Amino acid sequence: MPELPEVETMRRGLLGVEGGRIEAILPLRTAQKPIALRPSSRRLRAAAEGQTIQRVDRIGKRVVLRLADGSALVFEPRMTGLLLVADPPNQSHLRLHVRLAGARVTDFWYWDRRGLGVVTWLAPRQIESQLGATRIGPDALQVSPAELQSRLGKTRRDVKVALLDQKYLAGVGNLYASELLHRARVHPQHRCDRLGIEEWRRIHRALRQVLLAAIRAEGSTLADGTYRTALNRDGSYQNRHRVYQKTGTPCQVCGTANIVRIVQAQRATFYCPRCQPKRRQSS
DNA sequence: CCCCAGTCCTGCGGGC
DNA sequence: TGCCCGCAGGACTGGG
């Protein structure tokens, strides 16, 4: 499930397209249903083909190709989408082939096993409403401790659930939410409005530590093997997971309690009941 | 404001 | 051995 570290790794893997001119965007019908292209495939191609890619950005969990006329081509991989500049993991789920001229990279692909991802062309006037601050919160790596607390600290929602809300904070998904709360020693069911400044500082510190380490490791490739880097390689942060999908195994930090799995907002949460007690720690 | 269930989609694994 | 079903969850929507 691409979250901030995986999408940032995709962005970095795609930097070689900068300066390239889009020669062709070719939808590939290699699955039951075609990938969602917005607006229509025909209009997206008409708008983007022939344009030069000026810059590759990331906004939350989206990769944004900035085009010369101020428009943008946005890749939102959601669950199983990938951007590739090398051979795909599986030919049968290739969705889009983009051919370029004048850049180091001459071809890249959008691959998506489950096809829940979305590729969108945004006209300049759509960009603020679709990618701006009212729709997507500040990036998880840009936010200060005070801003984190001010944005999340008023809601009564469970902290783990609130961390997943992209309007509050962009980039954190289900995997890294559990991992960072374990590192911050905060119980996932703690109500946001009852967390104190010390806990928000710990969450902020853990947020940065976990996301930056995961970027260095090029993301997490889980057992299903879906996530790959742009060069079709495994990430390695899965080897550093402390709680995610580790139900029943001893916590690597305290060595005594076993990792517990619960469900919050219909999503799995993992935590250590000893390292992340419900009551505020005195230390 | 918040919560919940349903929707999209496909591969995988448990159970029988 | 084969088939069915539930599960995985990011983003969104509609109803309460």
The spacing between the Cα labelled CA in A167 and the C1' in B1, in angstroms, equals 14
> Which has the closest alpha carbon to A121: A17, A200, A47?
A47
Q: Is A116:A255 a contact under the CB 8 Å cutoff?
A: no
Element (DSSP H or E) covering residue A274: none
> Residue A113, CB, less than 7 Å from strand B?
yes
pTM of the predicted model as reported, rounded to 2 decimal places = 0.96
For a pLDDT cut of 90, what percent of chain A falls above it? 80
> Residue A92, CB, less than 7 Å from strand B?
yes
The spacing between the Cα labelled CA in A180 and the C1' in C5, in angstroms, equals 33
Name the active-site residue from A11, A58, A61, A228: A61
- Nucleotides on strand B with an atom closer than 7 A to protein CB? 1-6, 8-13
Q: In the predicted model, what is the mean pLDDT of residues A231-238? A: 92
Q: What does the block give as tokens for A2?
A: 């691409």
3-state secondary structure of A144: coil
Of residues A225 and A121, more confidence is placed in A121
The pLDDT, as a whole number, for residue A279 is: 67
Q: What is the pLDDT of residues A116-128, one digit of tens each?
A: 899 999 999 999 9
Sequence-distant (6+) residues with CB within 8 A of A193 are: A153, A154, A155, A156
Q: Is A67:A98 a contact under the CB 8 Å cutoff?
A: no
Q: What does the block give as tokens for A57?
A: 């950005």
Q: How confident is the model at residue A162 (pLDDT cuts 50, 70, 90)?
A: very high
Token pair 């009551």 is found at: A279
> Residue A30, CB, less than 7 Å from strand B?
no
The spacing between the Cα labelled CA in A137 and the C1' in B6, in angstroms, equals 25
Q: Is A277 a catalytic site residue?
A: no
Closest protein CA to C1' of nucleotide B13, residue:
A224
Q: In the predicted model, what is the mean pLDDT of residues A177-200? A: 95
Residue A275 DSSP symbol? T
Give the distance between the most distant pair of CA atoms in chain A.
61
The pLDDT, as a whole number, for residue A281 is: 46
Q: In the predicted model, what is the mean pLDDT of residues A50-77? A: 96
> How far apart (Å, rounded) are the C-alpha atoms in residues A43 and A142?
34
Q: How confident is the model at residue A31 (pLDDT cuts 50, 70, 90)?
A: confident
Q: What does the block give as tokens for A167?
A: 């309007």
Residue A271 DSSP symbol? E
Name the active-site residue from A78, A135, A267, A274: A267
CA angle A247, A82, A228 (to 5 degrees): 55
Token pair 């850049």 is found at: A103
Closest protein CA to C1' of nucleotide B6, residue:
A266
Q: Is A61 a catalytic site residue?
A: yes
Q: What is the pLDDT of residues A257-281, one digit of tens each?
A: 999 999 999 899 999 999 999 865 4
| pLDDT for residue A224 is more than 90 | no
Q: What is the pLDDT of residues A93-110, one digit of tens each?
A: 899 999 999 999 999 999
The spacing between the Cα labelled CA in A21 and the C1' in C7, in angstroms, equals 42
